[in-house]
Structure 1
Amino acid sequence: MKRLSRILSAAGLAMGLALTAVPADAQQKNAPAAPAATPLKPGSPAAIAAAKEILTMKNAAAMYANAVPNLVEQTKNVLLQSNLNYQKDLNEVAVIVAKNLAGREKEIGEGMAQVYANEFTEQELKDLVTFYKSPLGQKLLAAEPRAIQFSMSYMNQWAQAFAETINGQFRAEMKKRGKDI
């Protein structure tokens, strides 16, 4: 029963996320293709600089600061699954690989700046920098992470409760068919 509840909770969350995306999708019928399908155009140096300033103000680097060690660890763990007898070697090699690739996470920041430069004009980026330096912009920078955290928590709670509603409807419909589940 717990497993079913977890599955339903996950399904509810997925459905909740899908439903929240529907209005945005409907509004963006003529939106460009997914980022992976669309190559980034090089932004002007001023646009890239403004984008980097925005990302710095938003502390975006915190999102990817541990990307390299985390990916090294994930890769090591995958390799360990089929090479258990090499555990000692793979642990030692992971340290070497992490050292060799240290700093490469900065590529993410460069890419993010390029994305911003593709999504906003140079003037819009400059206006955003000005906004984020304003009192309201500073308040947004300070309060937004907490607001997002609370929003995600609310969405998860909602999805869990909604999954129970879905579970109840499934049970009711199955009961109508003479099948208790």
Structure 2
Amino acid sequence: MKRFSGLLSAATLAAGLALAIAPAAAQQQQPAAPAAKQSSPAAVAAAKEILGMKNVQAMYANAVTGIVEKTKTGLLQQYLNYQKDLDEVAVIVAKNLAGREKEIGEGMAQVYAGEFTEQELKDLVVFYKSPLGQKLLVSEPKAIAMSLQYMQQWAAQFGEIVNTQFRAEMKKRGKEL
């Protein structure tokens, strides 16, 4: 049961964790452009404005330092005797690559611009600037967090029901769990 609710917790953090588990080799290359149709500069600008209003940059703000740290940790597992050097190099690498997380925002804007028309994006900007849109921007993160908390509680309770039924069915077969 704990494993089931743990899986739900892990799912809620998938976006952030996806950034942290990127392969070290990918850091050396320019990421592939998202598979999105060619969008107008105005559509991309509107998408960036929407993403800014939604404060999505907070999701990936620490991507560079997180990946540098994860890479360093992986290297330390292989080269424990280089800890001091790897700690020093991590600072240099993080400094050299600082700001690259902005590429994520650019890619996300391209994805949005590929999924919505320019007019739809402009309409969304207008909506998010409206009183209801502003309320959504403020209230939605809290509603999502509370919904995820509810899902975790429900999963824990439902896991108990499933566990009880497993035990009952196994007991019918003469096997105690």
* TM-score normalised by length of structure 2: 0.83
Q: Which of 55, 60, 70 matches 2:56?
A: 60
Which sections of structure 1, spanning at least 5 residues, go unmatched? 18-35
Deviation by residue 1:120-143 (Cα, 9 ceiling, x = unmatched): 000000000000000000000010
Q: Relative contact order (alpha carbons < 8 A, sep ≥ 6): 1 or 2 greater?
A: 1
Instruction: Give the SS at the match of 1:164.
Output: helix
Residue 90 of structure 1 corresponds to 86
Partners of 1:135 and 1:118 in 2: CA distance: 27
Q: In angstroms, what is the RMSD of aligned CA positions?
A: 1.9
Deviation by residue 1:57-112 (Cα, 9 ceiling, x = unmatched): 11111111000001111111111112111111111111111001100000000000
Q: Does 1:142 find its partner at 2:138?
A: yes
Partners of 2:48 and 2:38 in 1: CA distance: 14
How many residues in Structure 1 have an aligned counterpart in Structure 2?
156
Partners of 1:111 and 1:7 in 2: CA distance: 34
Cα displacement (A) at 1:8: 4.0
* TM-score normalised by length of structure 1: 0.81
Structure 2 letter corresponding to 1:51: A
Deviation by residue 1:34-62 (Cα, 9 ceiling, x = unmatched): xx9x7222210000000000011111111
The share of aligned pairs that are identical, in percent, is: 71
Partners of 1:110 and 1:120 in 2: CA distance: 16
Cα displacement (A) at 1:169: 1.3
Residue 99 of structure 1 corresponds to 95
Cα displacement (A) at 1:7: 2.2
Q: Which of 147, 151, 163 matches 1:151?
A: 147
Partners of 1:131 and 1:153 in 2: CA distance: 28
Structure 2 letter corresponding to 1:118: G
Partners of 1:64 and 1:166 in 2: CA distance: 37
Q: Which of 17, 22, 42 matches 2:38?
A: 42
Q: Which of 72, 77, 82 matches 1:81?
A: 77
